[in-house]
């Protein structure tokens, strides 16, 4: 099987080549992202492998079908960048529902600790032999209330980490499960009582701009917001306004609504034309990482192995009824 691999990075190549070794699969790596203008690169391939910022809309799906592509293999859990309804009956879509909830949850906590204890600023200061502690005062997590929106695998691991710090945990989920050492509450109560709010939910019509001007108004003054899920869960302009008004005390962002034009690329020698992103990064209480939460050796291995298995499990997809999408 030949698979066109879009938005490829060095770490992708290494993990996927290892996972494909000795198997009936060959990857053609492309650095470009998949969208309407690049879909032609998949000609002669049986499938495509895509990531979070590739575009798999109706036009791309039609083009892939025209050139004989039969499967779209997402090497991620989220699939908001795929028109799955349009794909039904036309092309098989598979994903990696779980690769390492620990990677993402631990990164969320790492960002929180970095932000509130100023460790990133301390590192920069001491590199210049500046050992002053002025402006470095943080606060204890112990005894604080954390609101976790989304209690899937990642959300629950994050909850366990927070419990280890002695935090009180409130949670909201559209489909709540069993609660162990935390309390499910209406989202309005979570917003008003939480010192820290961490997002661990998928991007859907219901969760689009979940954090907006109206929800920010309901939050506790000085709240810290963490997002390691999907950028569009937060209205970036409302977030910026909340920071400027001092309503939001800090923001830890591993994702951004318009990240597809910036994240995963080295733009250090360029002018970033997204004014909202540039202003957020310039804020002293905003910490941004470029969709890095998944990036551990364990997660990369699991993503590659699961994706290869997904493709090989569809070994008879040429003969399948493509209406039964995975």
Residue 97 has pLDDT above 80, yes or no: yes
Is 318 domain-assigned?
Answer: no
Residues 37 and 88 in one domain: yes
Per-residue model confidence (pLDDT) at position 314:
63
Full-model pTM = 0.88
Residue 325 has pLDDT above 60, yes or no: no
Residue 71 has pLDDT above 90, yes or no: yes
Residues 162 and 199 in one domain: yes
Residues 87 and 213 in one domain: no
Q: Give me the number of domains the chain comprises.
A: 2
Whole domain around residue 30: which residue ranges? Answer: 2-99+297-313
pLDDT-derived band at 201, boundaries 50, 70, 90: very high
Whole-number average pLDDT of the chain: 94
What average pLDDT does range 167-176 have in this prediction?
97
Is 282 domain-assigned?
Answer: yes
Residue 125 has pLDDT above 50, yes or no: yes
What average pLDDT does range 74-97 have in this prediction?
93
Is 180 domain-assigned?
Answer: yes
What CATH number has the domain bearing residue 110?
3.40.50.720
Residue 266: CB atoms within 10 Å: 6
CB 88 within 8 A of CB 308: no
Residue 167 dihedral angles phi and psi, to the nearest 5°? -90, 150
DSSP per-residue codes, 110-154:
HHHHHHHHTHHHHHHHHHTT----TT------TT-EEEEE--SHH
What is the Cα–Cα distance from 191 to 170, expressed in whole angstroms?
Answer: 10
What is the Cα–Cα distance from 121 to 231, expressed in whole angstroms?
Answer: 25
pLDDT-derived band at 183, boundaries 50, 70, 90: very high
Residues 184 and 63 in one domain: no
Residues 282 and 136 in one domain: yes
Residue 320 has pLDDT above 80, yes or no: no
What average pLDDT does range 46-51 have in this prediction?
96
Residues 69 and 203 in one domain: no
Catalytic residues: 230, 259, 291
Residues 160 and 58 in one domain: no
Q: Write out pLDDT tens, residues 140-151.
A: 999 999 999 999
Burial class (CB in 10 A: 0-12, 13-18, 19+), 221: exposed
pLDDT-derived band at 315, boundaries 50, 70, 90: low
Residues 95 and 175 in one domain: no
Q: Write out pLDDT tens, residues 285-311.
A: 999 999 999 999 999 999 999 999 999
Least confident segment among 23-27, 43-47, 321-325: 321-325
């Amino acid at each position: 099987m030949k698979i066109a691999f879009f938005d490829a990075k060095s770490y992708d190549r290494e993990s996927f080549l290892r996972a494909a070794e000795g198997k009936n699969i060959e990857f053609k790596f492309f650095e470009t992202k998949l969208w309407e203008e690049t879909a032609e690169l998949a000609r002669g391939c049986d499938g495509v492998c895509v990531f979070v910022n590739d575009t798999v809309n109706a036009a791309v799906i039609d083009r892939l079908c025209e050139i004989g592509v039969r499967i779209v293999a997402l090497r991620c859990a989220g699939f908001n960048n795929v028109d799955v309804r349009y794909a039904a009956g036309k092309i098989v879509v598979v994903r990696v529902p779980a690769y390492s909830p620990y990677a993402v949850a631990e990164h969320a906590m790492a960002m929180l600790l970095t932000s509130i204890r100023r460790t990133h600023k301390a590192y920069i200061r001491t590199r210049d032999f500046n050992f002053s502690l002025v402006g470095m005062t943080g606060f204890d997590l112990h005894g604080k209330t954390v609101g976790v929106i989304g209690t899937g695998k990642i959300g629950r691991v994050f909850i366990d980490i927070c419990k280890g710090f002695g935090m009180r945990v409130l949670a909201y989920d559209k489909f709540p499960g069993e609660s162990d050492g935390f309390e499910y509450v209406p989202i309005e109560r979570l917003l008003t009582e939480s010192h820290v709010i961490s997002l661990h939910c998928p991007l859907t019509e219901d969760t689009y701009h979940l954090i907006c001007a109206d929800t920010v108004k309901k939050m506790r003054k000085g709240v810290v917001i963490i997002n390691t899920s999907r950028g569009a869960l937060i209205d970036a302009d409302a977030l910026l306004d909340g920071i400027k008004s001092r309503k939001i005390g800090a923001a830890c962002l591993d994702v951004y609504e318009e990240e597809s034009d910036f994240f995963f690329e080295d733009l250090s020698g360029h002018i970033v034309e997204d004014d909202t992103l540039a202003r957020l990064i310039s804020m002293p209480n905003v910490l941004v990482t470029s969709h890095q939460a998944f990036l551990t050796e364990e997660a990369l291995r699991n993503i590659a192995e699961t994706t290869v298995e997904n493709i090989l499990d569809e070994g008879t997809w040429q003969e399948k009824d493509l209406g039964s999408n995975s």
